[in-house]
């Protein structure tokens, strides 16, 4: 029988025919595509013709096109809709892919062809984009060990293969812990919870097969439960389960995996001639050096910690006023912070949430993209991988630009968090290939027949991930290597974090924040209170994030710790972590850092990008306002469509004319201290 994964897809937009694909198709398709890619690499390396950009670099760009298509589909499904079969395949594929990558970058004849082109680059009459692709290709080979020989070469390949296995195990252990825990609730346990939390708990209980409601480890449920439940014992139990993910002992415990990962990363860096893994990793980022990252984080840490400590004192008084002696605990913070927000800002999440319907927030994100970039979105009838998935065709002036896929609701088969990915990236080398982009979120699914309601943080997440999607949808380059989000890690968050600002534009909320039952717009007074409270509790939010970033940096900056948990505790003690605040991501569930190399030594990048996004939005405000056409054109030209065609700082300077300091970031978070050092 013909394997649909290896055929041309006669579907709208050539999207995957999900209804014709079974899990049994993946392994044979993977093996066939991998063999084809290996054969093509060997052909490129062994050809007698002298190296040229076309027969070497462009050939490499297209060598694994079929494998890339199969894997893009598979890994999207493995993250968004996993099952035991897909998890087993992921464990089998990961070491094979690491081995394949090592075979390419350590293929000496192939590297010699690339090196020949590099040395002759000034005589090759290459375009700027081709020069960039050549540079990145050679740099990638060198940083992957192409110059190593003998035992060092073999050891590096083994290290990378083992790291791939560990990253997969870490991810699957975390998913298992998240999927395996639930706190069943009696009707009495629902007392004090707003209707939307009760509805989410009942839906979660039904998904788990319980007779009644339940709290699960989905962020969209556990966070509001911690905000609103007056039952301190239940908050404590839920918080403990949330923070102990990956550290429960047994087969799903991630602590030993984290320790081995850090040790192997340090060995990898040493084999390549770097003092630390952080030095190796940051070499290609905007920050360049670990001390530059630490400087930025500490500039933000000091005022954030001061703000958090001041807030903790107020919340402790509220705790004592409730007749509870002792210290404010991490499972108390959100509950008392929510009560304080209602008292000081007259802002109640239960009152606010009906105005933040998922469908209306999607419309708002689309409408802003229409005003800024002329994009239009129309529902598309295409095969999907889950009934909850929605699809839109993206056009501009009637011309097809992209396909956008939205997968918004939490489920047991989906890993936690929110992310943007693609089933197909934009490129022009193999024709005018337009992207298929997916946003995956974990919002609470409503009961049947009820509208999906978001928290304001959920709505920000939706806009954030859509900013990533725009970076891919508006990409306009020739080579996939530099397409869309293929940029420095500490630059990739700029478009996503920048797009969050449009959610806070009053006219956007005035139009799209409409009540789920009455359809009435959000009352102006409520809108004013919402916008006035956007920096509320920012000390807490900043501290929990920066603490995680500092731990990540310290882990990778020196010798690998024998006991990462003990080292984590030391780092938090050194920086004076407030006792009532936990890290946003503790080591055993720090998937950004341990599920793969993506954000290792790079979790700081959200803050680095925030320095730019705050400054970039100021550029709109200094011009004609948030929808200024000239600034939108510059944003698309120099950031969104450019991909990785130039260094990130070059692109930003072309957009803004200068690099920013941290003033705008601190002001935006309500943490600005006029006497604090502010240069980045």
Active site residues: 465
Give the C-alpha separation, 612 to 554, whole Å. 24
Q: How far is CA 118 from CA 59, 89, 283, in A?
A: 16, 38, 20
Give the C-alpha separation, 317 to 325, whole Å. 10
Structure token digits, residue 680 = 């980045």
User: What is the H or E stretch that residue 424 is in?
Assistant: strand 419-424
Q: What are phi and psi of 395, to 5 degrees?
A: -130, 165
The residue length of the chain stands at 680
Structure token digits, residue 667 = 């002001």
Burial 633-656 (b: 16+ CB within 10 A, else e): ebbbebbbbbbbbbbbeebbeebb
Nearest to 430 by CA among 29, 51, 1, 68: 68
Give the C-alpha separation, 622 to 407, whole Å. 36
To 10 degrees, what angle do helices 195-208 and 219-228 make? 140
Instruction: Give the chain's radius of gyration (CA, Å).
Output: 25
| Residue 49 and residue 55 in contact, taking contact as beta carbons nearer than 8 Å | yes
User: What is the H or E stretch that residue 399 is in?
Assistant: strand 399-409
Mapping DSSP onto H, E and C, the string for 628-677 reads: CHHHHHHHHHHHHCCCCCCCHHHHHHHHHCCCCCCHHHHHHCCCCCCCCC
Give the C-alpha separation, 12 to 381, whole Å. 8
Residues 6+ apart with CB under 8 A from 127: none
Tell me the three state secondary structure of residue 395: strand
Structure token digits, residue 227 = 């905000």
Tell me the three state secondary structure of residue 130: helix
């Amino acid at each position: 029988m013909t394997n649909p994964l290896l055929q041309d897809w006669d579907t709208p937009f050539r999207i995957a025919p999900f209804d014709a694909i079974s899990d049994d198709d993946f392994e044979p398709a993977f093996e066939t595509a991998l063999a084809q890619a290996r054969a093509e690499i060997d052909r490129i390396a062994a050809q007698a013709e002298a190296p040229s950009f076309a027969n070497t670099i462009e050939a490499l760009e297209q060598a694994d096109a079929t494998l890339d298509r199969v894997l893009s589909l598979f890994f999207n499904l493995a993250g968004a809709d996993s099952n035991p079969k897909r998890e087993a395949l992921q464990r089998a594929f990961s070491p094979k892919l690491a081995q394949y990558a090592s075979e390419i970058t350590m293929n000496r004849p192939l590297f010699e062809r690339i090196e020949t082109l590099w040395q002759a680059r000034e005589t090759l009459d290459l375009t700027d984009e081709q020069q960039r692709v050549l540079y990145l290709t050679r740099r990638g080979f060198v940083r992957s060990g192409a110059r190593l020989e003998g035992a060092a070469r073999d050891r590096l390949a083994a290290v990378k293969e083992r790291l791939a296995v560990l990253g997969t195990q870490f991810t699957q252990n975390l998913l298992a812990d998240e999927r395996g825990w639930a706190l069943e609730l009696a009707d009495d346990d629902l007392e004090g919870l707003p209707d939307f939390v009760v509805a989410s708990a009942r839906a979660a209980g039904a998904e788990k097969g319980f007779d009644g409601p339940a709290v699960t480890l989905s962020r969209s449920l556990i966070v509001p439960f911690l905000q609103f439940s007056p039952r301190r014992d239940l908050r404590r139990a839920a918080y403990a389960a949330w923070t102990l993910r990956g550290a429960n002992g047994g087969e799903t415990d991630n602590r030993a995996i984290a320790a081995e990962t850090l040790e192997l990363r340090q060995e990898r860096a040493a084999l390549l001639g770097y003092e630390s893994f952080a030095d190796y990793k940051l070499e290609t980022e905007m920050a360049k050096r670990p001390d530059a990252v630490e400087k930025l984080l500490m500039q933000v840490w000091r005022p954030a910690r001061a703000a958090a400590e001041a807030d903790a004192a107020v919340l402790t008084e509220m705790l004592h006023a409730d007749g509870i002696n002792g210290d404010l605990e991490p499972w108390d913070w959100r509950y008392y912070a929510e009560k304080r927000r209602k008292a000081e800002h007259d802002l109640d999440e239960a009152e606010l949430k009906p105005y933040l319907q998922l469908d209306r927030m999607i419309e708002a994100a689309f409408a802003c993209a229409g005003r800024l970039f002329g994009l239009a979105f129309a529902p598309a009838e295409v095969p999907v991988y889950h009934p909850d998935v929605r699809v839109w065709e993206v056009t501009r002036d009637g011309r097809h630009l992209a396909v956008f896929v939205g997968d918004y609701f939490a489920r047991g088969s989906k890993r936690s968090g929110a992310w943007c990915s693609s089933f197909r990236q934009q490129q022009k080398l193999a024709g005018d290939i337009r992207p298929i982009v997916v946003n995956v979120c974990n919002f609470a699914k409503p009961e049947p027949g009820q509208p999906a309601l978001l928290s304001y943080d959920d709505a920000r997440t939706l806009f954030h991930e859509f900013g990533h999607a725009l970076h891919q949808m508006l990409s306009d380059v020739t080579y996939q290597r530099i397409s869309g989000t293929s940029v420095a890690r500490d630059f990739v968050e700029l478009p996503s974090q920048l797009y969050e600002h449009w959610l806070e534009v009053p006219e956007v909320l005035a139009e799209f924040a409409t009540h789920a039952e009455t359809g009435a717009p959000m009352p102006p007074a409520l809108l004013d209170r919402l916008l006035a409270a956007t920096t509320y509790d920012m000390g807490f939010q900043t501290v929990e994030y920066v603490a995680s970033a500092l731990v990540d940096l310290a882990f990778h900056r020196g010798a690998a710790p024998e006991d990462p948990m003990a080292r984590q505790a030391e780092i938090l003690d050194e920086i004076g972590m407030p006792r009532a605040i936990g890290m946003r991501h503790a080591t055993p569930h720090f998937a950004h850092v341990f599920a793969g190399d993506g954000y290792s030594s790079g979790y700081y990048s959200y803050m680095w990008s925030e320095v730019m996004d705050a400054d970039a939005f100021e550029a709109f405000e200094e011009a004609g306002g948030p929808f200024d056409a000239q600034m939108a054109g510059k944003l698309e030209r120099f950031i969104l469509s450019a991909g990785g065609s130039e260094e990130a700082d070059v692109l930003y300077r072309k957009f803004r004319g200068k690099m920013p300091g941290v003033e705008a970031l601190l002001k935006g978070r309500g943490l600005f201290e006029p006497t604090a050092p502010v240069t980045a």
